Chain A
Amino acid sequence: MKDKCKSIHPILGAWFDGELPDHKSRRIARHVEACPACRAEVDRIKALRSLLQDGFAAAVTAEDEALSSLHQRIMKRIPERETKNRKRTGREGPLMSFFRFRRITLPMAVTAMLVAAVFFTIYKPAPSVIKTGSVNDCIVDDLESGGRTVLLFKTHGSAMTVIWVVGNPDT
């Protein structure tokens, strides 16, 4: 074997497979065209491929039936994932299954939190009970007439005015 052939020999198969870069491939093509020994090697690679393909086709074609049964066995061993899901959602009812839907649950939760945050920021309930100790601080005016006392005062945190009539109307 010539030196040139020796260097090409290990990559002749890759050349035959079309797996070499263009510049290298062109160089080998020129050599193979001119070299009977390398052409014979390419022929052997080609013949080997045909032989292997025929051998496999012969072995595997005989297994068509076995592969068909195998297919059925595989499908039998695969769990019914969809059916299980359907049973579960059936028990929960349509509303729960709706909330289970992941794409809706998360945005809804975030929206609900935002609405709650805005509500509690704006809303401040008026005090329902005014402590006695703080009444004097709020008194705006007091009027006394005919045994009755009228107190006017404002509640904390709002502009509401409260009129409180104290005393016995009969006296």
Chain B
Amino acid sequence: MKRKRVPVSEEQEWVRRSRKGDKEAFSRLVEKYRKRIYNLTYGMLGNREDALDMTQEAFLKAYRSLQGFRGGSDFYTWLYRIAYNRVIDHYRKEGRKRHVEYDDTYVPSDEESIRTSPSSYFQPGRELDRKELGRVINNAIQSLPEQQRAVIVLREVEGLSYDEISASLGIRRGTVMSRLHYARQRLQEILKPYLKEGEIHEG
């Protein structure tokens, strides 16, 4: 997925003006990043209403916290961090934190795979329309441990480097590599019917 890049100096100017209370400048930042933040929240939560709510909360929190942003890191990694933390808080509030002590090597048993996999969507050899493809991918990602979801979205969908993911989630680079490896293994297993040596079955 290609991202439209805005020169850093222009973005820094938007950030600087936003910090002084310029709503128009902040609106430019929202416009640029709303889809990317939604990708992360949707990938972590798996349903559009919660993802939209968390995206909104993340931007409002970012606006309130702009005075604390000193520009030491990139604005978007700082923003991702806020959104990520909002979703983690949401997990806690909703009591959805299933894997309290995250085990990066976690791979569900066959029985658990059957229970958590959206098996009804997995029909080998069948081509998917776009809506169904979206649903299949979402269900596959939701079968991952929560912290692996953020890593896979930021790498595979958002195209962040390991260092950027590390900064966005506040985890070590080695942890990024490890979570990514296990998430890929798991997704390959679940999405096997749609992955045929590099070819994608898509309608």
A-side residues, CB < 8 A to B, are 10-11, 13-14, 17, 19, 40, 43-60, 62-63, 66-67, 70-71, 73-75, 77-78, 80-82, 85
Residues of A near B75 (CB, < 8 A) are none
Kindly state the separation between the CA atoms of A53 and B141 in the bound complex, as whole angstroms.
12
User: Are the C-beta atoms of A56 and B180 separated by less than 8 Å?
Assistant: no
B157 CB within 8 Å of chain A: yes
B186-197, CB under 8 A of A: which get 1 and which 0?
A: 011001001111
Residue in A14, A43, A55 whose Cβ sees the most chain B Cβ within 10 Å = A55
B-side residues, CB < 8 A to A, are 1, 20-23, 26-27, 30-31, 34-35, 38-39, 42-43, 48, 52, 55-56, 59-60, 63, 130-131, 133-138, 141, 152-153, 155-157, 161-162, 177, 180-181, 184, 187-188, 191, 194-200, 202
Q: A46-B198, A47-B198, A71-B31 are in contact. List 15 more A-B contacts (CB 8 A).
A: A13-B181, A13-B184, A17-B162, A45-B184, A47-B200, A51-B195, A56-B1, A56-B137, A58-B134, A62-B131, A62-B134, A71-B27, A73-B56, A74-B60, A78-B26
User: Are the C-beta atoms of A40 and B21 separated by less than 8 Å?
Assistant: no
Residues of B near A11 (CB, < 8 A) are 177, 181
How many residue pairs link A and B with beta carbons under 8 A? The number is 133
Min CB gap B200→A, angstroms: 5
**What 4 pairs between A and B have smallest CB-CB spacing?**
A55-B137, A81-B21, A59-B134, A58-B134
